[in-house]
């Protein structure tokens, strides 16, 4: 069970709810977000007097949530949540496409990529300064210097930046460079210490699905972030591991309507890592938008054949522009816009 506090409720009112739960033989967990505070009741919920909680000052609603993921559950928040990224809304009527290279390489490369992303009509830009790779001998990214390159290039076009955080020790550095959206990659979906730490900051977080994770495990991973007080969570389906070897990962389009039913948080799709080949990306992107995705994470490189990482799956600037036109048409059919 969760107790949803009214906007602007005081610390004293929140403490009063916790004390009331304690008197009922229950524990409590307080999760403070920017817009609202949620108090989770811990223990045997049969002991709870709902009416006694509802009349307490500052209480907006008391919700019985049977799901183990209480804060991210749609039961606790029936309306769709919209994540605000420097004034850009993700999760509403407008579908957002986050374009950019797999990895930050050089300043000229990032300057060219940012110009192409903006020209195609994307409002946000992606790029990895730190790269998790299967082989320890593969390119691992250019690190902190990459964050500086990324920031300089994106700022010229007023593009918020999305980049992956791999190590909890780098969180302060990400904050210093004002990373707009923190991405948690597939290999770190269940890095619970990392999830707890990003739960303490009020930065939007893209949580990618683990390559072998069930939807329930994915939702519970998001709950770690939400329980820390950060409710600005965006789910990203990027394909799961299967027996098939023709393509990189199997895009689970079914996950989109399932998540829309289970959670109020926005859902986006990464068709680039699912297909692993540039020629597959447009078809998968179109399917994702038709299935109800709130956004896409698409790899684009100024010269794909020269990309230092995942060259096979990167679109060219011209291909991204063409795809954006196709997606606008599908979005309009769905009653949305790009």
Q: Write down the pLDDT at residue 132.
A: 73
Joined tokens for residue 126: 């992606």
Report strand pairing: 181-184 vs 161-164.
parallel
Q: Write down the pLDDT at residue 264.
A: 95
Would you state the CATH architecture of domain 83-333?
Alpha-Beta Barrel (3.20)
Angstrom distance (rounded) from CA 36 to CA 4 = 7
State the first-to-last Cα distance of the chain, in angstroms, to the nearest integer: 37
Q: pTM of the predicted model, to two decimals?
A: 0.86
Angstrom distance (rounded) from CA 253 to CA 289 = 10
Joined tokens for residue 131: 């790269």
Radius of gyration of the chain (CA): 21
Q: Write down the pLDDT at residue 137.
A: 67
Closest CA to 309 of 128, 38, 123: 128
Q: Write down the pLDDT at residue 47.
A: 76
Give the chain's count of helices (H) and strands (E). 11, 14
**Class of 2-63 in CATH:** alpha beta
Closest CA to 273 of 256, 292, 252, 289: 252
Angstrom distance (rounded) from CA 315 to CA 282 = 9
Q: Write down the pLDDT at residue 149.
A: 94
Low-confidence ranges of the chain (pLDDT < 50): none
Closest CA to 30 of 49, 46, 47, 10: 10
Angstrom distance (rounded) from CA 234 to CA 207 = 6
Domain with CATH 3.20.20.70 in the chain: 83-333
- Is 310:299 a contact under the CB 8 Å cutoff? yes
Over residues 214-231, the pLDDT tens digits come to 999 999 999 999 999 999
Domain with CATH 3.30.70.1140 in the chain: 2-63
Report strand pairing: 2-5 vs 88-90.
unpaired
Joined tokens for residue 81: 């949540």
Angstrom distance (rounded) from CA 4 to CA 128 = 37
- Is 315:116 a contact under the CB 8 Å cutoff? no
Angstrom distance (rounded) from CA 159 to CA 163 = 13
């Amino acid at each position: 069970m969760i107790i949803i506090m009214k906007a602007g409720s005081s610390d004293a009112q929140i403490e009063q709810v916790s004390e009331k739960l304690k008197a009922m033989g229950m524990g409590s967990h307080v999760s403070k977000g920017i817009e609202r505070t949620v108090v989770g009741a811990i223990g045997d919920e049969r002991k709870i007097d709902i009416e006694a909680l509802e009349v307490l000052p500052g209480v907006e609603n008391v919700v019985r949530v049977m799901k183990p993921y209480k804060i991210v559950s749609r039961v606790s928040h029936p309306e769709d949540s919209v994540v605000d990224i420097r004034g850009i809304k993700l999760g509403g009527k407008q579908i957002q496409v986050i374009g950019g290279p797999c990895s930050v390489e050089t300043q000229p490369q990032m300057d060219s990529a940012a110009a192409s992303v903006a020209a195609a009509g994307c409002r946000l830009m992606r790029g990895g300064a730190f790269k998790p790779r299967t082989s320890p001998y593969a390119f691992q990214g250019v690190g902190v210097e990459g964050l500086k390159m990324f920031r300089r290039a994106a700022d010229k076009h007023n593009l918020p930046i999305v980049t992956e955080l791999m190590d909890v020790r780098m969180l302060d550095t990400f904050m210093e460079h004002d990373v707009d959206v923190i991405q948690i990659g597939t290999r770190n979906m269940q890095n619970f210490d990392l999830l707890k730490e990003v739960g303490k900051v009020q930065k939007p977080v893209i949580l990618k699905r683990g390559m072998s994770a069930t939807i329930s495990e994915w939702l519970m991973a998001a709950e770690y972030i939400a329980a820390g007080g950060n409710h600005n969570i965006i789910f990203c389906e990027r394909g799961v591991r299967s027996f098939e070897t023709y393509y990189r990962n199997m895009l689970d389009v079914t996950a989109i309507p399932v998540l829309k039913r289970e959670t109020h948080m926005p859902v986006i799709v990464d068709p680039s890592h699912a297909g692993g080949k540039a020629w597959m990306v447009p078809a998968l992107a179109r399917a994702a938008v038709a299935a109800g995705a709130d956004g896409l994470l698409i790899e684009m490189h100024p010269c794909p054949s020269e990309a230092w990482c995942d060259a096979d799956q990167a679109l060219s600037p011209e291909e991204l522009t063409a795809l954006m036109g196709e997606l606008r048409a599908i979005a309009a059919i769905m009653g949305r816009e790009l």
